[in-house]
Amino acid sequence: MRLDKFLKVSRIIKRRTVAKEVADKGRIQINGTVAKSSSTVKEGDELTIAFGNRTLVIRIDKLVETTKKDEAADMYTILSNTEK
């Protein structure tokens, strides 16, 4: 699954266009490597996302094409959520 689509489906970022912009600015890493919006993610990958002064580290637990709002949080596990 594409990185931007995962971020939208999992509702970490609300819109796919915003997810694409964030990824293409180099603010997302997959397993320690800077990722683009078209990068492929798989289960077990660790994402590091920089939101201004906040850094979110998550692990992908499952990939689904669509999900309900209540089930979106089951797609990942938050490993850390730190502020600078």
Domains by residue range for the chain, with CATH = 3-83 (3.10.290.10)
Q: Do the bridges between strand 46-51 and strand 28-30 make them parallel or antiparallel, or are there none, so unpaired?
A: antiparallel
Q: What single-letter DSSP state applies at residue 43? A: T
Tell me the pLDDT band of 30, cut-offs 50, 70 and 90.
Answer: very high
User: What would the mean pLDDT of 37-65 be, rounded to a whole number?
Assistant: 94
Give the integer Cα–Cα distance in Å for 11 and 32. Answer: 22
pLDDT in tens, 11-27: 999 999 999 999 999 99
pLDDT in tens, 55-84: 999 999 999 999 999 899 999 999 999 987
Q: What are the angstrom distances between the C-alpha of 37 and each of 11, 53, 67?
A: 15, 21, 20
Q: What are the angstrom distances between the C-alpha of 68 and each of 8, 10, 42, 72?
A: 12, 9, 20, 6
